[in-house]
Amino acid sequence: MFQSRSFPIIPLLFVLIAPSIHSQTAQPDTASNRVQLKLNTEEADAALAILDRHAAGTAITDADWQRLFATEPYVRLKKREASMHRDFTDDDFRKFVLSPELAAKATILRQTLDTWRRADLVASARRVLAYLPEQASIKAKVFPVIKPGINSFVFETTTDPAIFLYLDPEESAAKFENTVAHELHHIGFSSVDSLTEEKLKDLPPHVKPAVEWMGAFGEGFAMLAAAGGPDIDPHAASSPKEHARWEHDLANFNQDVHLLQQFFLDVVDQRLNKKDDIDEKAYSFFGAQGPWYTVGYKMAVVVERRYGRKRLIECMIDPRELLATYNRAAEELGRDGKERLALWSPELMQKVGVRLAETKP
């Protein structure tokens, strides 16, 4: 999932667990002090407790509701929805919790939460660490939540990073681990945003929005990092439907390179020059897992296989280097007769300030 323009890095793991702040504690290692991760299920636990009382015909007290409304996940969910102009009240949430539709899912929701609690988030974080700069660190809270919307998202990545995950009965522990790992990559990379800002600070005003939006290829980096390597299926834990959609969209790589290239050129050439228009067009490339994911993932895989993970991580800092390094790798693949891949045009490279001859493999 995309959060503004940040795309991450990762450190040590330390997941605290008490009655509702369930945690796995990692053994100290060289990654220590780089990650602090908490799995907080307070909101889901409180909602399920109310569902149990309701099913048993027991009166639900104000204290029961206040326990729910005082949880950190609930308080921050309200804050996030208000920031998106989707405000809801405590009364609205009461109606949702007491709805027949939610009551019918109470048992499976509890089973899902218990399964997710046993997920190995420590392993997820360690996978991602290998795909982040050494300076990166992660401090994050993971909130499985029972809520009306079925979306999952990252919130307040630069101040108090949180990953909200809709408690989905169709999502296995393995898929949960993969989703958390994906979001941890975003959060980790946001901790070193200053590295990218330094690289891009002198870009002309008409070029900067295009290069900043190239940062959305971080969705592809996160797919690769969450999987753990270029030879591991990034949708190994997904449903057959999700897997088929990914394969179908990945097959459109060459067409999507040209589609995104036109977007970048439209921005640089100021055919798109208003921020709202630029953002609207850019957001259309997210989809369920659209070109920002598939093109970003494919480029990352090509670069890592050809030049190694260290070079790929260097390319994360400046997305222009990703495009140029990918071009070089794709040209070599073509000459080797292995795969014919679309290239970013010399026109685009020149307009965003890349001299291919100066890029290192």
Same domain flag for 333 and 213? yes
Question: What is the distance of C-alpha 210 from the center of its chain?
Answer: 20
Same domain flag for 164 and 211? no
> For residue 245, is pLDDT > 70?
yes
Same domain flag for 186 and 201? no
Contacts of 103 (CB under 8 A, 6+ apart): 51, 54, 55
Which residue, 191, 210, 240, sits at the end of a domain?
191
Note whether residue 29 is domain-resident: no
> For residue 185, is pLDDT > 60?
yes
Note whether residue 165 is domain-resident: yes
Note whether residue 23 is domain-resident: no
Note whether residue 340 is domain-resident: yes
Distance CA 98, CA 43 (A): 15
Note whether residue 283 is domain-resident: yes
Give first-to-last CA distance, the chain, whole Å.
29
Same domain flag for 108 and 134? yes
Same domain flag for 48 and 185? yes
Same domain flag for 208 and 310? yes
Same domain flag for 96 and 241? no
> For residue 21, is pLDDT > 60?
no
Written as six digits, the tokens of 53 are: 């009382």
Average pLDDT, the chain: 88
Helices 218-227 & 291-307 angle (0-180, nearest 10): 60
Which residue, 172, 191, 210, sits at the end of a domain?
191
Same domain flag for 207 and 310? yes
Domain count for the chain: 2
Domain membership of residue 327 as a residue range: 195-358
What confidence tier does 23 reach under pLDDT thresholds 50, 70, 90?
very low
Q: Which of 11-25, 149-163, 206-220, 278-292 has the lowest mean pLDDT?
A: 11-25
Note whether residue 91 is domain-resident: yes
Contacts of 201 (CB under 8 A, 6+ apart): none
Residue carrying structure tokens 């990352």: 300
Contacts of 258 (CB under 8 A, 6+ apart): 342
Instruction: Give residue 203's identity as a one-letter amino acid code.
Output: L
Same domain flag for 212 and 166? no
| Buried-state track 209-220, b at ≥16 Cβ within 10 A, e below 16 | bbbbbbbbbbbb
> For residue 287, is pLDDT > 80?
yes
